[in-house]
A and B are shown apart, each in its own frame.
Chain A
């Protein structure tokens, strides 16, 4: 019974604590991500959600706690194991992080060239397939600086998909994009998950995209998990921060001091 459970969850986070110096950024975080679902980490600015994502992919070493991916502890892995794991995951960065010195095609081909022994021509075909997948078929020879924000994010997804990963992480996929492009990206994330049964972990603060993509949501506030569950569950939860977040109510104290100044300016 225990084992069955383990197979179902591809990511298990237990009592994770991350500190910068003495400042605790993530405090005792625990959650599990099921295979094939889209798990959204939701939270306001500075709540630690990007830190959580970077810890999951191994860019930040946690202070304590465990992160199991495919049943293996990420935090105690040696370098070769880490490389093997990283071939099975993909990550799309907030600002896409494409290599500016390479064309879009070369960006997507890089993981294939380095981690596989495929022939040059095969890599070329696979790169083209990945780019077609995200709707950038004709952009292979362009440089990242020639792409728009939305196209860059799509190229980032194509690169993350290059090695056919089993888990894909998205850091703020819709930030800085207009609603139409953002919606297009949301649908792309959905489509990827449907087509490849891809487990996706998405960090965002965009409520509208959560409505479209989320299977399950975890709301983060000040380094702690406020609530976790599917969207319906969360909307019925009475937690005050959660209600405030979903109804987009501003913080009263911040607003009071701001409006006091604005009022006094108006009077002048």
Chain B
């Protein structure tokens, strides 16, 4: 009984160690083909990277924009609910502004892009593996990391911060709608309050997070994609797993950066 239990713990630990190792190799390979190999004249697939950027970033803007606006309004109303009791509704600007920049905009964007594009990355690579397209690349002497991974990586790591900046702006605009439209706070008073509340470090910490969220979405998606074996069922399983792992990892990364910024304040 105890032996079975310990064995279980051991095998979970070993599996974790193994996947960490595989992800590390994947990361090294990606960086190698992103920075080092192009210097040796092996080229970078710029056009493909731009296409991926458009897909991950530009095309996700409508949905991220809409949700950010709604979240901004929700946050405005929730903070107004508490602040009204002290007659300090103007401080809504601080609450909405800071939480949007430091936390909610990066997180919402990352989670939406995970659902939209992280899953797509896994499904695409998984399907290519099932239909032997990855093998075909290798037999042609073309490196799958260069062809499949690096363009997605570049596109994702640039797209997530861009989308996050948009989300930040729209979330704050959501707060404006509540303040000016419902609570009849003067537009310029609210504007000044927001401008005074925010410092560049808020923006900076949000952007640092978003870059790391981008890395997470991309590497988890790709790792799960390459884990696909054999059948279409496996593609479905890994796609689900990709989204779950990715959101979980994003929260962990978020916690680490939040703690770092909190303690270095």
List residues of A whose CB falls within 8 A of some B CB.
54, 57-59, 82-87, 89-91, 93-95, 97-100, 110-111, 114-115
Contacts and interface: CB of A to CB of B under 8 A. Distances in A.
A97 B136 contact: yes
Interface centre among A57, A85, A97, A110 (most CB of B within 10 A): A97
Contact of B132 (A82, A86, A95): A95
Contact of B141 (A87, A95, A98): A87
Nearest to A163: B140
Nearest to B127: A100
A97 B142 CA distance: 14
A57 B138 CA distance: 9
- The majority secondary structure among interface residues of chain A is mixed
B51 to A, nearest CB: 10
Interface of B: 128, 131-133, 135-136, 138-142
A111 B142 contact: yes
B140 A99 contact: no
Contacts of A100: 131, 133
Contacts of A91: 136, 139
Contacts of B128: 99
Contacts of A84: 141
A110 B48 CA distance: 14
B141 A86 contact: yes
A100 B142 CA distance: 17
Interface centre among B128, B133, B141 (most CB of A within 10 A): B141
List the 5 closest A-B pairs by CB distance, nearest first. Answer: A86-B141, A97-B132, A97-B136, A83-B141, A91-B139
Contacts of B132: 93-95, 97
Nearest to A162: B140
A90 B140 CA distance: 7
Contacts of A93: 132, 135-136
A82 B140 CA distance: 10
24 contacts: A57-B139, A58-B138, A59-B135, A59-B138, A83-B141, A84-B141, A86-B138, A86-B139, A86-B141, A87-B141, A93-B135, A93-B136, A94-B132, A97-B131, A97-B133, A97-B135, A97-B136, A98-B136, A99-B136, A111-B140, A111-B141, A114-B140, A114-B142, A115-B141
A121 B128 CA distance: 29
Nearest to B136: A97
B144 to A, nearest CB: 12
B12 to A, nearest CB: 20
A208 B77 CA distance: 76
A94 B142 CA distance: 19
